[in-house]
Chains A and B, each alone.
Chain A
Amino acid sequence: MNAASPASPLLEVRGLRMHFPVSEGLLGRKVGDVKAVDGIDFTVRRGETLGLVGESGCGKTTTGRCVLRLEKPTAGQIIFDGVDIASLGGKQLQALRQRIQVIFQDPYSSLNPRMTIGQIIAEPMFVHGIEPNATKRMERVHELLTICGLNAGFADRYPHEMSGGQRQRVGIARALAMNPEFIVCDEPVSALDVSIQAQVVNLLEDLREKFGLTYLFIAHDLSVVRHLCQRVAVMYLGHIVEMADSDTLFDNPQHPYTRALLAAVPVPDPDVEQGREFRPVKGEVPSPMNPPSGCVFHPRCPMAVDRCSKEAPQPREIAPGHMVACSEVKITG
């Protein structure tokens, strides 16, 4: 996969910031900001899957929620199919909601326990007036269940009667009901058993091909991300620190944080692991309310030099399509 291929972007995010005010005391006096997302740029081309990885609290979900416009960003542009949606409201936002859907991590809490599976999938079609005819709506529900690998008979069942993997398929069917172009997948397999994850990963791949979907795939399991994504962005404390096509990112990672992240993943093979010496990166992710000065990774970085605590490194393209935000990394191509 050539990262510089000219496929047109469906989504372009420019300078996205999402700061949440933090208040304290009875009067709710503002004491600071959580800089959940602090100025990020990325594009997702039509038909591709962009992976977004990083440790918890680094801003992945917040980025996804901004793209879904469940949050109004503090600053920046979110250009979807040529239109900046960062500050859209009202009717225009409603129309947009149909085209961008979401699949959540937790297949347990994201389905209403009092509704049947059929009602859960049909509801958004009704609300958005996609299929006003009730009989046709049910036909569509059965079709969607079948597409997602479930028996049409599941339409009459309730969420608690299904396994985690089956519920996640329902969540996917519900997202597909809107005929979306773009789906934000927020940790869609993390809550599933290892034995079920591969089923859902394959389903997501099949659907992308079949319906020409574009995904923003948020996950912390790097081996799943490598399998599913054409390009990957690594986030740390509200910043994208490295972004490249999947092969480059996994075979030739350049940012010290990406390297630390990859080194921390043990491989399911005792022979490989027994021979592998590694020192886990030290320390923990600092609070996004009080991010470190300069490069936000510097307190944990094994390569840090003096200036890292003073100057924030700017994202640079070190080779075509390979972006790294570290001042110590050399330009290679």
Chain B
Amino acid sequence: MPALLEIQNLHTEFRTGAGTIHAVDGITYSVNAGETVAIVGESGSGKSVGALSILRLIPDPPGRITQGTVLFGGRDLMTLTEEQMRQVRGSEIGMVFQEPMTSLNPVLTIGRQITETLEQHRGVDRATAQKRAVELVGLVGIADPIRRLKQYPHQLSGGMRQRIMIAIALACDPKLIIADEPTTALDVTIQAQILELMKDLTHRLGIALIIITHNLGVVARYANRVNVMYAGRIVESGPARAIYHTPRHPYTIALLRSVPRLDRPRQARLDPVEGQPPDLTRLDAGCSFRPRCRFAIAACAASRPRLEATSNPGQSAACFRADELASLTGTNEAALAGAPA
């Protein structure tokens, strides 16, 4: 069965005063029906631009999608008309963003925002839309739906607004939801509520989910597969278990080592990823992780490694030494215990 979403060699750039930024620099990945794929990486690594590019929501100028195909259900989204694209956005792919306040319309009631989506994309009448809105708001765990539908976004808490965003994303029975940092602005108990809700609904309704986050715990709990991004590229990709237990890219290894864990004895000292995040206007021809990499060799300065299959089934890494690293670091258990690099 072909994948639900297949992204091939996608490039998005921004023209800025400081030069052209290759925010997304050739990413390729796929999402199968019903599965949850996580995108992790530090801020500025291209996670959001990558997601917005799928939906063709890049502000132009200064941004431009310069290359690539995005096959969704067999069609290349890059070749659709703007009108067809609007239909895809509202009804085939749902979206949930970090700050629901900015994606909700402040002067429309919650109810109107949901019914509007339904009327536009489903062509149903007001009464049917109203009935469905009540169902949807109940589905996302909001008590007293009829009263809530009459309220405005500012009258709701952050967690409640995010539930509404999920209801809107679900309104037209999408096959895919893209959630960009859906819980980053929320408290941990509310984060847990929202993530469990999304997991439950996507499983029950068979919806695929792309979840963008920088929280490695969230990825471990919810993702089937993981793409790790660094400086506009996917540097490692594979099943969640493989990424956590046998990481093959030095950035992934360093990232996993740097976080303190509540389920492990307290370490004497944390083991940070050294150095600074990359400046995308000043990348050279070599591997972009090189300035921070403990494993760099001369070849790493000459050209950029491509994302290639490793000796682990289903796992790819963009590192010249990916397969060597398996023997250099042993398992992640050893790496986390502080085995010499």
Contacts and interface: CB of A to CB of B under 8 A. Distances in A.
Contacts of B218: 266
A288 B188 CA distance: 19
B221 to A, nearest CB: 4
Contacts of A197: 258-259, 272
B228 to A, nearest CB: 11
B287 interface: no
Contact of A266 (B217, B245, B260, B266): B217
B4 interface: no
B217 A284 contact: no
A261 B190 CA distance: 10
Interface string B207-223: 00000001111111101
A220 to B, nearest CB: 7
Interface string A246-274: 11001000000000111111111111110
Nearest to A274: B221
B254 A272 contact: no
Given A193-B43, A226-B260, A270 B240 contact: yes
Interface in B190-207: 190-193, 196
Contacts of B272: 195-199, 201-202
Contacts of B244: 268-271
B263 interface: yes
Interface centre among B196, B255, B272, B274 (most CB of A within 10 A): B272
A279 B60 CA distance: 44
Interface centre among A195, A205, A220, A222 (most CB of B within 10 A): A195
Given A267-B220, A268-B261, A284-B159, A201 B270 contact: yes
Nearest to B230: A195
Contacts of A165: 276-277
A271 B241 contact: yes
Nearest to A263: B192
A227 B270 contact: yes
Interface string B182-194: 0000011111110
Contacts of B214: 193-194
Contacts of A193: 42-43, 214, 277
Nearest to A260: B189
Interface residues of B, number: 45
Interface in B151-209: 157, 159-160, 187-193, 196
B189 A281 contact: yes
B259 A264 contact: no
A284 B219 contact: no
A56 interface: yes
B188 A220 contact: yes
A268 B240 contact: no
B262 interface: yes
Given A55-B189, A264-B191, A268-B219, A280 B196 contact: yes
Contacts of B254: 195
Interface string B268-307: 0111111011000000000000000000000000000000
Interface in A174-229: 193-199, 201-202, 205, 220, 222-224, 226-227
B188 A265 contact: yes
B256 interface: yes
B267 interface: yes
B220 A194 contact: no
A264 B188 contact: yes
Contacts of B270: 198, 201-202, 227
A166 B266 CA distance: 26
A194 B267 contact: no
A285 interface: yes
A227 B266 contact: yes
Contacts of A285: 187
A166 B275 CA distance: 10
B224 to A, nearest CB: 9
Contacts of B160: 284
Given A223-B259, A227-B260, A284 B157 contact: yes
22 contacts: A55-B187, A56-B187, A163-B276, A193-B214, A194-B215, A196-B272, A197-B258, A197-B259, A198-B271, A198-B273, A201-B272, A205-B269, A223-B262, A260-B189, A266-B215, A266-B217, A269-B220, A269-B261, A270-B221, A273-B217, A276-B221, A281-B192
Interface of A: 55-56, 163-166, 193-199, 201-202, 205, 220, 222-224, 226-227, 246-247, 250, 260-273, 276, 278, 280-282, 284-285
Given A202-B269, A267-B220, 7 more contacts: A193-B43, A195-B277, A198-B260, A226-B266, A268-B217, A269-B220, A280-B189
Interface of B: 42-43, 157, 159-160, 187-193, 196, 214-221, 223, 240-241, 244-245, 254-256, 258-263, 266-267, 269-274, 276-277
Leading 4 A-B pairs by shortest Cβ distance:
A266-B217, A198-B272, A280-B192, A268-B216
